[in-house]
Amino acid sequence: MKSSGDGWVRICASDLPPGGIVGVTIGSEDMVVWRSMAGTPCVIEARCPHQWSHLAGEGVVVGEELVCLTHLWRFTTGGEGWKENVNGRRDRKGDLVVTDCIEEDGSIWVRIVG
């Protein structure tokens, strides 16, 4: 079982559904927790690297990616940023920092290493 004494921080309940996105603050860092449609949880920095939209408000999950609705950059669960063009070509864009998380005891946790 996790506890805050060993650096683990509970950030939200495991009932975040596929496609769900929630904003969290850990220390002074704004992050979002999202779950891919296949069920993978992901903790990622909250601000789109393009023009700083907050992905808790401007993000939507499409398959295994978090898409910023402002200009449609998209991010994998590994944080890679892409832009998909009308013809389907995908171009690399800015990345987001991902914080490793685990799902245990009915919660999603991150470990803060100080």
Query: Three-class SS of residue 90?
Result: strand
SS3 40: coil
- Under rule CB under 6 A, residue 70 binds ligand FES: yes
The nearest distance, CB 111 to ligand FES, in angstroms, is: 28
Q: Which of 111, 114, 109 is nearest to 33 (CA)?
A: 109
Window 47-66: contact mask with ligand FES (x via CB under 6 A)? -x-xx-x-------------
The neighbour count for residue 63, using CB atoms within 10 Å, is 10
**Is 70 or 76 the residue whose CB approaches ligand FES more closely?**
70
CB of 57 to ligand FES, least distance (A): 11
What minimum distance in Å lies between the beta carbon of 38 and ligand FES?
A: 23
Please name the residue ranges forming H helices in 5-95. 55-58
Residue with Cβ nearer ligand FES (10 or 50): 50
- Whole-angstrom distance, CA of residue 18 vs CA of residue 86: 26
Partner residues linked to 102 by β-bridges: 109
Instruction: For residue 73, state whether it binds ligand FES (rule: CB under 6 A).
Output: yes
Site residues (vs ligand FES, CB under 6 A): 48, 50-51, 53, 68, 70-71, 73
